Amino acid sequence: MLWALPREDRSLEEDRFEILTELLDKSCQGLEIWEEHCERKIPLGHRCVLEGELIHLITSKFDLIDKICGEFDKLKNKRSEVNDERDMLRYEIRHCDMIFTEIHEKFLKSYLEMDW
């Protein structure tokens, strides 16, 4: 759905598309974290909690992207609202960074048999 969005060069729509793809890329980093730790010996309870957190974060960001794509035309030519949306999406990207760092750290601590 994201790739089908209408966008012209140097338009508000192109700016929105770019920030949405940044959020998509950031969300997919959760899969890289899972892949890094999927073969490590980690207690089952820890694995369930951490993988659940990853799944929740990834799906919530995918849902946000899907919602924005579904309503993409609502902000056509509305610069102020597009700027607000961009700020919100940048916050979501930073939030992903923070949570992914915490989850990655917990995976490592679990692997090393350390307390969280």
- Per-residue pLDDT of 65-80, as tens digits, reads 999 999 988 888 888 9
pLDDT at residue 4 above 90? no
In the predicted model, what is the mean pLDDT of residues 99-109? 98
CA-closest candidate to residue 65, choices 96, 99, 98: 96
Separation CA 2–CA 26 (nearest Å): 15
Give the C-alpha separation, 44 to 77, whole Å. Answer: 50
Percent of the chain at pLDDT > 90 equals 77
- Say what the pTM is: 0.87
d(CA 35, CA 95): 21
Q: What pLDDT, on the 0 to 100 scale, is given for residue 12?
A: 81
Between CA 26 and CA 89 the distance in angstroms is: 11
Cβ–Cβ < 8 Å for 82, 15? yes
